[in-house]
Amino acid sequence: MKVTILGGAGFLGRKLAAHLAGHGRLGENQVSGLITFDFVDSPAPLDADFPVRRLQGDIAALPDEAIPHDTDVVFHLAAVVSAQAEADYDLGMRVNLHGAEAVINACRRIASPGRQPPRVVFTSSIATFGGGQDAKLEDDARQVPANSYGAEKAAAELLLADASRRGFLDAVSLRLPTIVVRPGRPNRAASSFLSAIIREPLLGLETELPVADAFAAWVASPRRAVDWLLHAAVMDTESMGIDRSVNLPGISTTVAHMLQALDEVRPGASALIRHTPDPEIAAIVESWPAAFEAMRARTLGFAAHEPLVDVVRAFVEDDLEATRAERGLPRQ
């Protein structure tokens, strides 16, 4: 099985590539080759039993070698995140929408009669919905995004679903919850603070909280996100019909509960958080729904989520020391 990861330098792309390299399989299929693609160079070569090729370039001008003719699975993770897409409309459109068009065109180029079209696993977002803090959305809820990032992701979902209907590819669009805890450094996502309020205190650093403790969010861990990506790559899509998008079974939590979980793992760590209201960030994230039914995802075999305290413990086990080293911080 030949696999391409677009957005391979991002944290989920790196985790996904490391999993494939370590296990050598995708479902019941042996991985025979991996390509990672991003606008920056991907991390050092993986120790894998199959060839791994790292490519660098513009997702909207995707080179043919990023999705060769024998590609079986494409993980399309490349994106400009929410606050950055709101601040730079042209960049958000280029990467989030025209990048998806480039993926469709690449898959259409390699499609041939009698050959199974490549599976495309696309990371969409709950930002494609509005509704705000009081919403609990069912699977057939209408998508009414309140920001450019969500609009671009929703448009890309529709294009991928139509490309599936036409047989160019076989898409599964995953509407990811906010992923916590992200390793590394803060990024320009409006929701970046949801990782920072766990990650930075565990690193011994102060951080700012731009919303109130009562702010609620639909979240998921990196471990669960990788599991969902892997499942989407090999699941039977026949029962999905023309609706190729899935609201995933994350967990609804508040900032207050996140800080409680933080203190359970590292007592007193929440004292490093400073409440610093930011109306611009709040205006974006408070438009996102805080809870989903996600019944369809469960019937399609997507795993349920672990408790919040286990999310914090998983960051300590998987990413804390690597993040400390990446940022040049002394070991505690």
Asked, for residue 234, whether it belongs to a domain, the answer is yes
State residue 189's pLDDT score. Answer: 85
Residue in 149, 168, 228, 292 annotated catalytic = 149
CATH of the domain at 68: 3.40.50.720
DSSP reduced 3-state for 277: coil
Asked, for residue 258, whether it belongs to a domain, the answer is no
- Residue 50: which domain range? 2-177+221-249+291-305
pTM score, whole prediction: 0.95
State residue 44's pLDDT score. Answer: 65
Are residues 127 and 149 in contact, defined by beta-carbon separation less than 8 angstroms? yes
| Phi/psi at 178 (5° precision) | -65, 125
- Residue 301, sorted as left (phi over 0), alpha (psi -120 to 50) or beta, turns out to be left
For the question of residue 149 being annotated catalytic, the response is yes
Are residues 166 and 105 in contact, defined by beta-carbon separation less than 8 angstroms? no
State residue 45's pLDDT score. Answer: 67
Asked, for residue 116, whether it belongs to a domain, the answer is yes
Distances (CA, A) of 23 to 78, 82, 219, 223, 314: 23, 32, 27, 15, 20
Owner of token pair 């992200």? 182
Q: Digits of tens for pLDDT over the chain (332 positions)?
A: 999 999 999 999 999 999 999 999 999 999 999 999 999 987 766 789 999 999 999 999 999 999 999 999 999 999 998 889 999 999 999 999 999 999 999 999 998 888 899 999 999 999 999 988 989 999 999 999 999 999 999 999 999 999 999 999 999 999 999 999 999 998 888 899 999 999 999 999 999 999 999 999 999 999 999 999 999 999 999 999 999 999 999 999 999 999 999 999 999 999 999 999 999 999 989 999 999 999 999 999 999 999 999 999 999 999 999 999 999 998 87
State residue 68's pLDDT score. Answer: 97
Asked, for residue 193, whether it belongs to a domain, the answer is no
State residue 219's pLDDT score. Answer: 97
Q: Is the peptide bond before 144 cis (omega within 30 degrees of 0)?
A: no
Residue 116, Cβ density class (10 Å: 0-12 exposed, 13-18 middle, ≥19 buried): exposed
Asked, for residue 286, whether it belongs to a domain, the answer is no
Asked, for residue 29, whether it belongs to a domain, the answer is yes
Asked, for residue 34, whether it belongs to a domain, the answer is yes
The domain tally of the chain equals: 1
- Reading the block at residue 214, the tokens are 């009562």
Asked, for residue 54, whether it belongs to a domain, the answer is yes
State residue 253's pLDDT score. Answer: 97
Strand partners, 125: 176
Instruction: Give the Cα separation of 219 and 294 in Å (integer).
Output: 13
